[in-house]
């Protein structure tokens, strides 16, 4: 399949899907954060399912206005010849036909409530996050794959590896490979990559568009293949694109890589409903907190506006960066004071052995990016006061994260257990 044909194929599938009003189609969707892994997994599995199990289409969960926030996604799509994603892809904001009833979930394993209906069925799950234990009847959900991997795209690739009579298009190979490289930091030794990721990459590279740049044989050993200059160059470019966010505003950084969760808790005795729903947002930001707070003239107002826009009770901002001491992570948690959950929730996070959080002295580094290393990495005296600049309506605390290997993938389950225990 040529690059031109992939673009044409996607356009025609979208037109057929809408013409059929979704009847008889499986909608393959990634998680709401819309990172490259979700995008590639959705496109990869939709193509595979279409050629094995009937009509399927990838649903890209990124809203149209947010596409430009992820330069790495646009770069990978461009490599695959998808240069006009709104025309070629079925995206968030496109109409959802009334007859859609079948969903395949990739890079998450619970259907978002906004797509739930009496007729909705989850017919496949492929994910590498913590298993939330739904759709376990394999007579209706097949495949159901929820297991560790550095990238969900590796699990999708394994399905291609086991489909001996089906060749994988080079554009799909390139997209899946790009996602694996960015999620595993170039398959770095000692990092997030597992054997399934290395084996997937070794399968994809000879079938990808990179194979046209170098003499790559599928019979070559894994280490030789993944250390090819073209592979390492692609990994570096994707990482640079992902970290190119200095032009984004505070609001853009919050919504760029964002997931939201809903939790129910008993209402007060005089309430009209028996349960209250609390919405919790987790935003991953590839800048340290000091730099994040220089992204706009009024970052705190933009954060408060995001709270209102999303109707949140809790917002966690999870930062990742590199400093003179290597890879680092920080967290900023903001909780509505009137929810009555702030102290218990924050103490639960602070006691997590997996996160290893240490309070940061917020006023010392906010708006002072040039001295971030000095203030954020030193062994300062214990911080006990909450940050007052968010006002009396919020409780805000900033932390250095001692375990730099723990991402949102690890933080979200900790948060869920704490919220469910309130």
Look up residue 113 and give its two tokens. 């409530």
What's the CA gap between 383 and 381, in Å, rounded? Answer: 6
How many Cα atoms occupy the beta-carbon half-sphere of 418 within 13 Å? 20
The answer to whether residue 2 scores a pLDDT higher than 50 is no
Smallest Cα–Cα separation from 10: which of 74, 116, 111, 83?
Answer: 83
pLDDT at 274: 53
The answer to whether residue 265 scores a pLDDT higher than 90 is no
Bridge pairing between strands 102-106 and 121-127: parallel
pLDDT digits (tens, 9 = 90+) for 396-409: 999 999 999 999 99
pLDDT digits (tens, 9 = 90+) for 34-90: 999 999 999 999 999 999 989 999 999 988 888 899 999 999 999 999 998 988 999
Instruction: Tell me the average pLDDT across 127-146.
Output: 95
- Tally helices (H) and strands (E) across the chain: 16, 12
Task: Look at the pTM and tell me if it is higher than 0.85.
Answer: yes
pLDDT digits (tens, 9 = 90+) for 165-212: 899 999 999 999 999 999 999 998 888 999 999 999 999 999 999 876
């Amino acid at each position: 399949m040529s690059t031109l044909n992939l673009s044409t194929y996607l356009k025609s599938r979208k037109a057929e899907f809408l013409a059929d009003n979704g009847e008889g189609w499986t909608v393959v969707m990634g998680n709401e954060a819309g990172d490259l892994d979700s995008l590639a997994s959705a496109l990869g599995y939709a193509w595979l399912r279409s050629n094995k199990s009937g009509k399927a289409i990838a649903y890209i969960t990124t809203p149209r206005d947010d596409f430009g926030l992820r330069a790495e996604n646009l770069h990978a799509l461009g490599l695959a010849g998808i240069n006009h994603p709104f025309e070629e892809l079925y995206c968030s904001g496109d109409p959802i036909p009334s007859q859609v009833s079948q969903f395949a979930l990739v890079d998450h394993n619970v259907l978002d409530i906004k797509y739930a209906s009496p007729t909705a069925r989850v017919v496949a799950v492929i994910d590498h996050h913590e298993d939330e234990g739904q759709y376990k009847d394999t007579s209706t959900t097949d495949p159901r794959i929820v297991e560790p991997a550095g990238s969900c795209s590796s699990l999708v690739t394994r399905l291609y590896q086991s489909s001996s009579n089906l060749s994988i298009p080079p554009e799909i190979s390139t997209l899946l490979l790009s996602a694996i490289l960015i999620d595993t930091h170039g398959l770095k030794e000692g990092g997030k990559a597992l054997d399934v990721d290395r084996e997937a990459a070794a399968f994809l590279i000879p079938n990808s568009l990179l194979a046209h740049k170098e003499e790559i044989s599928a019979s070559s050993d894994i280490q030789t293949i993944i250390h090819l200059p073209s592979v390492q160059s692609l990994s570096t470019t994707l990482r640079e694109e992902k970290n190119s966010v200095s032009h984004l505003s505070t609001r853009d950084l919050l919504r760029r890589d964002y997931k939201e969760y809903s939790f129910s808790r008993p209402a007060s005795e005089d309430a009209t409903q028996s349960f209250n729903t609390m919405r919790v947002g987790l935003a991953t930001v590839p800048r340290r907190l000091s730099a994040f707070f220089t992204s706009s003239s009024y970052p705190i107002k933009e954060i408060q506006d995001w709270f209102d826009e999303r109707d949140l009770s809790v917002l966690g901002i999870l930062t990742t960066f590199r400093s003179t001491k290597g890879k680092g992570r920080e967290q900023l948690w903001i909780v509505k004071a009137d929810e009555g959950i702030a102290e218990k929730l924050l103490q639960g996070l602070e006691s997590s052995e997996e996160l290893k959080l240490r309070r940061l002295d917020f006023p010392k580094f906010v708006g002072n990016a040039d001295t971030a290393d000095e203030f954020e990495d030193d062994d300062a005296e214990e911080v006990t006061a909450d940050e007052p600049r968010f006002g009396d309506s919020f409780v805000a605390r900033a932390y250095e994260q001692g375990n730099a290997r723990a991402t949102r993938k690890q933080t979200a389950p900790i948060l869920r257990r704490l919220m469910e225990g309130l």
